[in-house]
Amino acid sequence: MPASTLERTARPRRSRTRSRNINGRPALAVSTLKPHQYDLRPACASLVCPDCKTWVPITGIQAKKPKLVPHDTGLAGKDVAVRCQGSNRLVAVDVKAKKWEERLVDGHAETAHRRRTTVLRKPKVAVAPAVSQIAAQKQTATTGDESSDGRPLWLLREMKWASTESAVRDADTRRAELPAGDAPLGAPPVPLKTLHPKRRAS
């Protein structure tokens, strides 16, 4: 008989199954899951399958051997039918339904009053220029053709030299004058002729 050319899609998940097949893997303990990952109410007993990360009904929740119903990994009627490895896996219900409901309500009360933290962004501060950049700016300002008041720099240099010319010339004149009196005691005489030492004959 020729195989069907139509691609089989994932089947809908039943809440109960009469299959006696049992998965050979160890039983899945409900206590290993988080409170929001399972539901222990008899009307809608289910949990998130650790293999395919989807909600799967638990059949026989009030029986001795509850287990996950056979299920595919994809959405029913849309994805390709791929059987999940967690199908027919036994479930160890080691959490009381009342305790689970209390934990779920307490967790909801804690998260319901949370407020997101307001992010206070710091104002952006301009980056300080480097020392070399400051020196370059000063050099550019001093090498221009005109000063800040509009006068040419050569005129400013001439004015500065004129204001200090007399003091500089007086200092040069005093420096050229020799002190009166004899030379200081113990000081060797200053040679007036160039000395040319000769090598001693060996």
| CA neighbor of 77 nearest in space, from 10, 13, 5 | 10
pLDDT for res 2: 45
C-alpha–C-alpha distance, residues 139 and 127, integer Å: 21
pLDDT for res 110: 59
| 149 Cβ contact list (under 8 Å, min separation 6) | none
pLDDT for res 183: 58
pLDDT for res 83: 86
pLDDT for res 4: 44
| Residue spans of beta strands (DSSP E) within the chain | 28-29, 38-39, 46-48, 55-59, 67-68, 91-92
pLDDT for res 144: 53
C-alpha–C-alpha distance, residues 119 and 125, integer Å: 18
Task: Say if residues 71 and 13 touch (Cβ distance below 8 Å).
Answer: yes
Spans of the chain below 70 pLDDT: 1-7, 15-16, 107-115, 139-149, 178-187, 189-191, 202
pLDDT for res 139: 65
